[in-house]
Amino acid sequence: MMELGWWGVLVAVAGGAVRVSTPYLFVSLGETLTEKSGRVNLGLEGTLVLGAMSAYGVAHLSGSPWLGVLVAGVAGAAFGLVHGAVCSLARVNDIAMGIALFLLGTGLAFYLGKPFIEPVAPRLPHLAFGAWSDSPPVRAALDVSPLFVAGAVLAPALRWALGNTKWGLVVRTVGDNSDAAKALGWPVSLVRTLATMAGGFLAGVGGSFLSLHYPGTWNEALSSGQGLMAIALVIFARWDPVACFYASLLFGGATALGPALQSVGVTTNYYLYGAAPYVLTLGLLVYSSSTKHTLVGAPSELTISR
Amino acid sequence: MTDHPKLTRRQLLATAGGVIATGVVSDLVSRREARAAVKPITVGFIYVGPRNDYGWNQAHAVAAKKIARLEGVKIVEQENVPETVEVEKVMEGMIHQDGAKVVFATSFGYWPHILKVARKYPDVLFPHIGALWKEGDPKNTIGYRGYMEEPHYLCGVAAGHMTKTGKIGFLGSKPLFFIFNNCNGFILGARSVNPKITCQVVITGDWNNPVREAEVTNSLIDQGVDVIVANVDSAKVVVENSERRGIYTCGYHTDLSELAPRGFLTGAEWNWAAGGQFVKAWQTGGPYTNLLRGGFRQDMVAISPFGKAVPEDVRAKIFRIRQGFVDDSFKLYRGPLKDNEGNVVLKEGQVIANDDNKFKLAVNFLVEGAIGKTGLKK
Amino acid sequence: MTLRSSVETAAISTAAVLVALLLFGGFAVVRGLDPLEVYRVLYLGAFGSWFAVQNTLTQAAPLMLTALCTAVPARAGLLVIGGEGALVMGGLATVLAGVLLANVPGPPGIALLCATGAVAGGLWVGVAGALRHWRGVNETISTLLLNYIAIAVLNHLITGPIRDFDQVLKPASWSVGEHLRIGDVPGTSIHWGLVFGVAACALLWVLMRGTTFGFAVDILGGNVRAARMAGLPIGAMVLVACFLGGAAAGLAGAVEVIAVHGFASSSLVVGYGYAGILVAFLARQNPLAIAFVSVLLGGISASGGLLQRRFGLPDAATLVLRGFLFVAVLAGSTLYGRLRIVRRP
C-alpha cells in the first residue's frame, strides 16, 4: 500500500463530498421545489431525521432497505402535508411553523426510534464506480449509493421540469406572483401544499440515506444540522436545482475536510474547519443579498426574500 | 439476519460477563440467607446515552438488569442525561421522588457532580465508573473501573499478527487518561509482535458522534490502516463501516462480533458485576472499598470471543499473555519506553505495576509508534 | 392591547396547550399507558413538590432570557432564532472578562461580567440585524448560521486558547473566580439567574409597552412602509431591537457561567436558545407572558425525568409534547384573525 499522505486527504475529501453530499442534495432539491412555489419549510431537518428513523426501522422489520426508503419518503410527505396545510391557514407564519415541525419531527423520530438503536438493518446496495482503480481509497471514494445517482439525475430533471412543463410553470407562477396565479384559476394553497409534500418526500429519502447507507446506522446524533444547512444551500444555489447538486458536493467536501486532516495528524483548528460550511454560506449570502432587489432567482412570494 | 438477534447478543454478554457475576451474587446470596431478610432498596441508574446503544450504556444496562434481580432491589433508570449540572437534578430526583438509596451514575464526566450531591446525602451510596476516588472524597462514593488497557493489549497482539500494512488505527472519544492507557495498551501489544507497526490515533472529541466516527474510519482506511479499534460509546458505526471496507476490527464495551463476521478479531469488554457487591453491602451495612480497580487478575475485564479470522496459534498466544495478567507475571508498562515525541518515559529495567493507579491516572502521553497527539499540555 | 384581545390571546394559547396535552395523551394510550396517570406524573414532576417546583423554576430561568431574544426583534418585524448562539457568545465573553477582571471585588465584578455577556450576545445578534437592514440578508437564516458558528468558536476556544488543562474531564475554559460567582436564592436551590430573568422580562415589557421607542417598534413591526413614511430611523431601531434580544440571551450565557458552571464548556449548548423560540411564540411575543410561559415549559422539562423513570417513556417524550405545543400554537394563531409573528394593538 503506498503512503498516501496529503494525496490521501484529497481523496478523502472527494470521497466525503460524494458520500456526505447526498442528504444535502435531496433536502435542497426538495426545498428548492417548495420555495419555488412560494413557501419556506425550515422543518426539513426534522423531516430528515424522521426519514432516517423510519427507513431504518422499516428496513429492519421488513428486511428490505428500499421499502425503508419508500416509507421514509412517505413519512416526509406526510410531514410536508402538515406544514402545507397549516401554513395555508390565514397568516400562519411559515418560518415559525417550520421550526415547530423541526422540533416535532426530531422528537417523534427519537421517541419512535428508541427500539431501533441496537438492531442492524439491511443496507442499501452500492454501485462500485471505482472498480477500475487499483487503489482502495479511490475505489472507496467512488463507491456510490444509487440514491446519489438518483439525485444527480433528479437535479437536471427538476430544472428542466420547472422551466419547460406546464406543471413547472404553475409552480413558478404561484411562487412569483400569487395574484396572477389566482387570476388564472390555479389553486395557490393546493399547489404550495403539494410542492411542500414533494419536498418533504425528497427530504425523507435524503434521511434514509443517512441511516441505510452512510453512516449506516440509527442513532440520535445522526444528523448534525444537515437539514438546516440544506436550506441555506438552496439560497446559495440561487434556487437552481443543478447548482444545488454542485453546492451539495462542495458542502459535503467541506464537512469531510476536518476528519480527513485529523487522520494525517493535523489536529489543530479542527472545529474551525467544521465551521467552514456555515461561514461559507453566510459569506455568500452577504455577498449576494441586496436591499435593493430580492435575491437573484428568489421566488417573489417567498417570506424570506421580502 | 437472525430472527432474534437480541437474544443471541444478550446470551453472549451474559456468558462472557455474567458467569462470574452470578457466581459472586449466588455466593453472597447464600451467605445472606443465614442472616435476617434483606430490606428493600431502590437503586437508580443514570445513563449518558441510550440503553440499547450496543456499547457503553448497554453494558451498564445489562449490569442493571442483573442488579434488579437481586433480592429486595427495585431499579429506576434514566437515560440521555448530559454530563452537566443536569445530572445533579436527576440524582436528587431519584433520591427525593423515587427514594433511591444507591445511585449508579454511569458516565465519566458525572464525577464532580456526584461529589457535590454525595455530600448532601450521606445515606445514599454513589458508585462511579471513573475510578477517580481519592482520600478525602466522601465515604459514600466509590470509584470502580476495570483496567481496560489489559484487554486492549491483547487486541493489539491480535492486530499485530493480522495487519498486512503495518498500520493500525485507534479512534478515541475524549482526551482522557483511560483512553490514552487503552491506546498505549493497543500499540504496545501490536508492537510486541512487530516493532515497526504504527498506529494512527484520532480523537473525535465526543462520546458519540456517528457521522464523524464514520468519516474518520474512512479516512484512516484511505491512509492504509487495516485494523481499527474504536473507544467511543458505541463502536457499531466504526465496526460496520470497517467491515464494509474489508478491514479488521476490534470491539469495545460489548461483544460486537456479530456486526463483522469477516473482520472481527476480538474485543475489550467490561465486567461490571462489582456493582452488585456495592448494593449488597449498602443494603446490609457491610463493608465496601472506595476504590476498586482491577484487570484480568481481579476479573474486572474480559476479551470478546475471537472472530473466525484469528488463527489458532494467535489465539493460544493471546490466552498465554492473558494468563500473564491473571497471575501478575506480565506487566504492561515496562522500560525502556519512549513516548511518540521522543521523551523517555521508562528507563531500561523500570517496570510499572499493573495496579499502579497513580501512574495510570497521570498518563498523558502516547507511546512510540503512535501518530497523533493527546492534545493535552505536558 | 384591549381587554378583549388579551382574553382572546390567553384563550388561544390555553387552547393550544390543551390540544397538545390531548395529543400527548393519545401517545400515552398507544403505548398502553393510562393518560390520566401520565398527566398526574407530568404535574407531579413539575409542581408536585417543593423539589419539583425548584427544579421547574431553575429550568425556567434561562428560557425567560432566550425567549426575549426572539420576542423583542419579533416586535420589530424580524424573526430571529439566534438565542443559542448569543447565549454561547455571552458565556464566552463572561469567562474572558472573568479572567481580565479577576481583581475586581464581588458585586461590581459580577455586574461587569453580566454586562459583558449581555453586550457580547447583543452584538452577535446585532450583526444579523445589521446584515438585514443594510444588506437585506434574511435574519432567520443568518442567525441560524451564526448559531453554528458560535458553537464552533466555543469548541475551538475551549479546546485550545482558553483551555483549562486542569479540567481533565471535559474540555472547559478557565474558571471564573469564586468571588465572582453568584449563588442560590437563600432558602432554595434556585440560583439568582431566575431573578435576572424575571427582571429582564419586566424591564422589556415596560420598554416595549410604555415608551415611545416601544411604540415606534410596534409600528415598524406592523408595517415597514408606514414606519418609513413616518420618518422613523428604521436602521437604528432594527439594530437596537436585535441588540436587546441578543443581550438577553447573552445574559443567559453569563448566568450559566457565573451561577451554574463557573466556566465555559459544551454545557452551554443545551438547547435553551431553541426552547426560547417556542416560549416566545406561546407568549405571543409579550415579555410579561414570557415569564409565565417559561415556567410552564420549565415544568415540562422538569417532569421529563420522572416520566422516564415511572413509565419508561423515552426522554424524547417531552420533545414530542413541546413539538405538539408549538404546532398547536401556530395553528391556533390563525383563529386570532389578524395574526402575524408580531403582536398588534
Predicted confidence at residue A306, as pLDDT, reads 52
Residues A226, A31 contacting (CB under 8 angstroms): no
Does B77 reach chain A within 8 Å, measured CB to CB? no
Neighbours of chain C (3+ CB pairs under 8 A): A, B
Residues on chain C touching B83 (C-beta within 8 angstroms): 169-170, 267
B344-346 and B337-338 strand pairing: antiparallel
Phi-psi sector, B285: left (phi>0), alpha (psi -120 to 50), beta: left
Predicted confidence at residue A15, as pLDDT, reads 79
Which is nearest to B50 in space by CA: C308, A246, C211? Answer: C308
In the block, which residue shows the cell 440503553? B51
Record: contact C333-A92, CB cut-off 8 A: yes
Tens of pLDDT, residues A116-137: 888 888 888 888 777 777 777 7
Domain membership flag for residue A47: yes
> How far does B214 lie from chain A, in Å, by closest CA?
6
The DSSP element (H or E) to which C209 belongs, if any, is helix C193-210
Record: contact A262-B165, CB cut-off 8 A: no
| CA C291 to each of CA B87, B338, C57, C66, C330: distance values in angstroms, whole numbers, following the listed order | 25, 60, 10, 11, 19
Predicted confidence at residue C252, as pLDDT, reads 97
Domain membership flag for residue A296: no
φ/ψ (deg, to 5) at C228: -65, -45
Residues on chain C touching B176 (C-beta within 8 angstroms): 168-169
Residues C232, C118 contacting (CB under 8 angstroms): no
Domain membership flag for residue A29: yes
Nearest chain A alpha carbon to B238: A215
| CA C299 to each of CA A177, B13, B316, C305: distance values in angstroms, whole numbers, following the listed order | 45, 39, 59, 11
Question: Collapsing DSSP states into helix, strand and coil, what is residue A237?
Answer: coil
- pLDDT category of residue A265 using cuts at 50, 70 and 90: low
Predicted confidence at residue A5, as pLDDT, reads 65
Predicted confidence at residue C2, as pLDDT, reads 63
| Partner residue facing B109 (CB), from C170, C306, C314 | C170
Record: contact C260-B85, CB cut-off 8 A: yes
Chain B residues in contact with chain C using a Cβ-Cβ cutoff of 8 Å: 44, 76-86, 89-90, 92-94, 96-98, 108-109, 111-112, 174-177, 205, 375-377
Phi-psi sector, A86: left (phi>0), alpha (psi -120 to 50), beta: alpha
C-alpha cell at B257: 462480533
Predicted confidence at residue C169, as pLDDT, reads 64
- pLDDT category of residue A275 using cuts at 50, 70 and 90: confident
Residues on chain A touching B209 (C-beta within 8 angstroms): 221, 224
Quick check: B185 pLDDT over 80?
A: yes
Give the CA dihedral B364, B370, B372, B378, nearest 10 degrees. Answer: 20
Residues B104, B64 contacting (CB under 8 angstroms): yes
| Partner residue facing B221 (CB), from A16, A140, A219 | A140
Residues on chain C touching B94 (C-beta within 8 angstroms): 309
Q: Around Cβ A132, how many Cβ atoms within 10 Å?
A: 9
Nearest chain A alpha carbon to C281: A96
Q: Low-confidence residues of chain C, pLDDT below 70?
A: 1-5, 168-169, 336-345
Domain membership flag for residue A304: no
Quick check: B35 pLDDT over 90?
A: no
Question: What proportion of chain A, given as a percentage, has pLDDT over 90?
Answer: 39
Residues B172, B203 contacting (CB under 8 angstroms): yes
Record: contact B98-C165, CB cut-off 8 A: no
Alpha-carbon distance of C45 to C27, in angstroms, equals 19
Considering its fold, how many domains does chain A have in total? Answer: 1
Predicted confidence at residue A266, as pLDDT, reads 67
Alpha-carbon distance of C114 to B233, in angstroms, equals 37
Residues on chain A touching C329 (C-beta within 8 angstroms): 100
Quick check: B37 pLDDT over 70?
A: no
Predicted confidence at residue B1, as pLDDT, reads 36
Residues 306-345 of C with CB under 8 A from B: 306, 308-309, 314-315
Nearest chain A alpha carbon to C314: A111
Domain membership flag for residue A295: no
> How far does C13 lie from chain B, in Å, by closest CA?
29
Record: contact C152-A271, CB cut-off 8 A: yes
- pLDDT category of residue B5 using cuts at 50, 70 and 90: very low
Based on its alpha-carbon atoms, the radius of gyration of chain C, rounded to whole angstroms, reads 20
Residues 250-269 of B with CB under 8 A from A: 258-259
Quick check: A198 pLDDT over 90?
A: yes
- pLDDT category of residue B376 using cuts at 50, 70 and 90: low
Domain membership flag for residue A300: no
Alpha-carbon distance of C314 to C316, in angstroms, equals 5
Residues on chain A touching B53 (C-beta within 8 angstroms): 117-118, 219
The full 3-state SS of chain B, as one line of letters, equals CCCCHHHHHHHHHHHHHHHHHHHHHHHHHHHHHCCCCCCCEEEEEECCCCCCCCCHHHHHHHHHHHHHCCCCEEEEEECCCCCCCHHHHHHHHHHHHHCEEEEEECCHHHHHHHHHHHHHCCCCEEEECCCCCCCCCCCCEEEEEECCHHHHHHHHHHHHHHCCCCEEEEEECCCCHHHHHHHHHHHHHHHHHCCCCEEEEEECCCCCCHHHHHHHHHHHHHCCCCEEEEECCCCHHHHHHHHHHCCEEEEEECCCHHHCCCCEEEEEEECCCHHHHHHHHHHHCCCCCCEEEECCCCCCEEECCCCCCCCHHHHHHHHHHHHHHHCCCCCCCECCEEECCCCEEECCCCECCCCCHHHHHCCCCCECCEECCCCCCC
| Partner residue facing B224 (CB), from A1, A117, A270 | A1
| Partner residue facing A118 (CB), from B53, B203, B208 | B53
Does C54 reach chain B within 8 Å, measured CB to CB? no
Residues on chain A touching C137 (C-beta within 8 angstroms): 285-286, 289
Record: contact B83-C159, CB cut-off 8 A: no
φ/ψ (deg, to 5) at C20: -60, -45
Domain membership flag for residue A52: yes
Interface pTM (ipTM) of the complex? 0.84
Quick one: average pLDDT of A154-178? Answer: 92
Task: Give the number of C-alpha atoms closer than 13 A to the C-alpha of residue C142, restricted to the C-beta side.
Answer: 27
Phi-psi sector, C200: left (phi>0), alpha (psi -120 to 50), beta: alpha
Does A221 reach chain C within 8 Å, measured CB to CB? no
Nearest chain C alpha carbon to B76: C309
Q: Around Cβ A143, how many Cβ atoms within 10 Å?
A: 20
Give B334's strand partners: B351
Most confident of A205-214, B183-192, C100-109: B183-192
Domain membership flag for residue A302: no
Neighbours of chain A (3+ CB pairs under 8 A): B, C
Record: contact C267-B205, CB cut-off 8 A: no
Alpha-carbon distance of C120 to C91, in angstroms, equals 9
> Which pTM does this prediction carry?
0.84
Query: Across chain A, what does the average pLDDT equal?
Result: 85
Record: contact A267-B372, CB cut-off 8 A: yes
Nearest chain B alpha carbon to A121: B1
Residues on chain B touching A20 (C-beta within 8 angstroms): 211, 215
Considering its fold, how many domains does chain C have in total? Answer: 1
Record: contact C156-A272, CB cut-off 8 A: yes
Q: Which residue has the higher pLDDT, B182 or B71?
A: B182
Does C45 reach chain B within 8 Å, measured CB to CB? yes
Predicted confidence at residue A295, as pLDDT, reads 63
Task: Give the number of C-alpha atoms closer than 13 A to the C-alpha of residue C136, restricted to the C-beta side.
Answer: 14
Give the CA dihedral B78, B79, B85, B90, nearest 10 degrees. Answer: 0
State which residues form the domain around A92: 2-288
Q: Tell me the torsion sign for CA atoms B117, B120, B124, B130.
A: positive
Alpha-carbon distance of B75 to B279, in angstroms, equals 11
CATH of the domain at A283: 1.10.3470
C-alpha cell at C93: 465573553
Tens of pLDDT, residues B272-288: 878 888 999 998 888 89
Tens of pLDDT, residues B342-366: 899 999 989 999 989 889 988 889 9
Quick one: average pLDDT of A42-62? Answer: 93
Residues on chain B touching A115 (C-beta within 8 angstroms): 52
Quick check: B3 pLDDT over 50?
A: no
Predicted confidence at residue A304, as pLDDT, reads 65
| CA A11 to each of CA A275, B165, B221: distance values in angstroms, whole numbers, following the listed order | 21, 19, 11
Alpha-carbon distance of A290 to A268, in angstroms, equals 36
Tens of pLDDT, residues B138-168: 999 999 999 999 999 999 999 999 999 999 9
Quick one: average pLDDT of B214-238? Answer: 90
Tens of pLDDT, residues B298-309: 888 999 999 999
Residues 28-87 of A with CB under 8 A from C: 42, 82, 86
